[in-house]
Amino acid sequence: MSTWGTGPFQNDTALDFLGYVEDLEHPGEVLRELLGAILSEENVLHDFILEMGIAASVIIAVKVEPTLDPDTAERVGESPSLEALPVTDDLVEMALRTLYRALRPWGRQSGTNGLYSLWCDAGEVEEHVDALRPYIGALERGVHIVDDDDPGPLQSGESGERRTADESETPLVQARLRSLALGALVFPPNALSAEAGEPEADSHAFSEGCQELALGSVVYAAAKVVQETMDDLRVLDRRDVSVRDVGWDALRLLKHLPWRFASTYDVSFARRFLVTVTVMADRLGRATPYVNCIADQLAARMLCDEAADLIRRYSGLDFSQAVILSSQVEKLFDFRRDVFDYGNLYASTSLRSLAAGSIRLIPESWGPDGFPDRLPDTTEWFTSFGAERPAHPYTAASGEFPDPERWP
């Protein structure tokens, strides 16, 4: 879809939605379905879902105050069904809460905001926020609410913008990462080489220096994941709260776990996850980096994501080549998705709901493929696949620690 500005209808998604609802006999039902799904989100708001939500909210706002946006108000007025749509207090409240969510990089209930991240990457997040404020003002004059999704003020540096490499530091970091490659003893020297006969082998043939940097990135990322988990554990221990209570900006790593479970990420969970990431890091130097439980999958995922960020910033490759090299690194790990697809833990609640709903703009195929009826809770993440015991001796629940000397 194309976007040419930060205005509510300066993208194809919003315009398509407006064209869709103005032809409906009962547009209010679709507006409620869309806004209700957004307000029920518990993990991630995808950009195109929120673009439609903003469009729906603006339709309601211009019905409250037509002079706010004469062009949109005129188009809404040309649709008999939208013109006749009653603007009730609850509909205004749903629209207002949706726009509140659009203003922030994350919400205490709704999780991360994909649209906000895109505007951060484009360097236009302030323009995005400013474009929505007049509509928020119009809606606020109609209702008074407490925004329970508000995470509070963000700390400095938590805007969601990606860090880029400083040219002066790049050679030093490259040398450091290559020196760490020897720590990845678990992988053979040619682990990232293109295989003979592999499709597009030429595009996968990286220099020895690039391969060393990638393996060193894995080793560095493993240490970073361990350190950040320890830092988060200290924060939770000091405040005696969960990740959801602390909020996004006070944490470094645990906030990147599936947000829908954030209220269960307490001190006990953080200690168990610290064991998991430590074991994963240790395996790089002396054993196969296999995964044996859901927590292992998530730890390996975070390790690969950190390594991919280092490769993107310091490899000197263009974006597409950095992505290919990062995918080669990911292939070094057996995530065992055939046992459990951990991606379902991150699935969007609103996308799943809308894909199964009545809005024809959202194909059913956009929903999570084969999404299970039940997701395993965090108490099950540390249990070995195919065995009713903890995957690691010190990830057992309190009071259930086995004798490490007798551990298989």
Per-residue pLDDT tens for 305-349?
999 999 999 999 999 999 999 999 998 888 898 899 999 999 999
Which among 248, 253, 349, 338 is positioned nearest to 298, based on CA atoms?
Answer: 253
Q: Please, what is the Cα angle at 373 between 150 and 117, to 5 degrees?
A: 35
pTM of the full structure: 0.84
Q: In whole angstroms, what is the distance from residue 132 CA to residue 38 CA?
A: 17
Q: In whole angstroms, what is the distance from residue 28 CA to residue 91 CA?
A: 9
pLDDT tens, residue by residue, 147-193:
877 776 554 444 444 555 567 788 999 999 999 888 877 776 667 76
Tokens 């168990």 correspond to what residue? 272
Q: In whole angstroms, what is the distance from residue 358 CA to residue 29 CA?
A: 9
Do 217 and 191 form a contact (C-beta atoms < 8 A)? Answer: no
The pLDDT value given to residue 275? 94
Q: In whole angstroms, what is the distance from residue 13 CA to residue 100 CA?
A: 20
Q: In whole angstroms, what is the distance from residue 119 CA to residue 111 CA?
A: 17
Q: What are phi and psi of 74, to 5 degrees?
A: -65, -45
Tokens 């404020």 correspond to what residue? 133
The least confident of 80-89, 308-317, 388-397 is 388-397
Which among 251, 203, 207, 210 is positioned nearest to 229, based on CA atoms?
Answer: 251
Do 58 and 135 form a contact (C-beta atoms < 8 A)? Answer: yes
Do 92 and 143 form a contact (C-beta atoms < 8 A)? Answer: yes
Which pair of tokens denotes residue 23? 């032809």
With cut-offs at 50, 70 and 90, classify the pLDDT of residue 388.
Answer: confident
Do 257 and 301 form a contact (C-beta atoms < 8 A)? Answer: no
- Helix, strand, coil in percent for the chain, rounding step 5: 60, 5, 40
Q: In whole angstroms, what is the distance from residue 202 CA to residue 190 CA?
A: 15
Share of the chain above pLDDT 90, in %: 59
Q: In whole angstroms, what is the distance from residue 120 CA to residue 70 CA?
A: 29
Which pair of tokens denotes residue 281? 């890091």
pLDDT tens, residue by residue, 22-70:
999 999 999 999 999 999 999 999 999 999 999 999 999 999 999 999 9
Q: How far is CA 134 from the centre of its chain?
A: 28
Terminal alpha carbon distance of the chain: 53
Q: Which helix (H) or strand (E) holds 44?
A: strand 44-45
Predicted confidence (pLDDT) at residue 286 exceeds the cutoff of 80? no
Q: In whole angstroms, what is the distance from residue 366 CA to residue 333 CA?
A: 27
Do 202 and 163 form a contact (C-beta atoms < 8 A)? Answer: no
The pLDDT value given to residue 303? 95
The least confident of 130-139, 241-250, 317-326, 395-404 is 395-404
Tokens 């560095």 correspond to what residue? 220
Strands 44-45 and 106-107: unpaired
Which among 141, 17, 35 is positioned nearest to 76, based on CA atoms?
Answer: 17
Handedness of CA 248, 251, 253, 257 (dihedral sign): negative
User: Cα separations (Å) of 384 from 95, 186, 226, 290, 300?
Assistant: 44, 22, 21, 12, 15
What is the mean predicted confidence (pLDDT) over 402-406?
A: 50
Query: Helices (DSSP H) in 154-207: which residue ranges?
Result: 170-180
The least confident of 100-104, 199-203, 280-284, 362-366 is 199-203
Q: What is the largest CA-CA distance in the chain?
A: 76
Total Cβ atoms within 10 A of residue 148: 9
Total Cβ atoms within 10 A of residue 136: 18
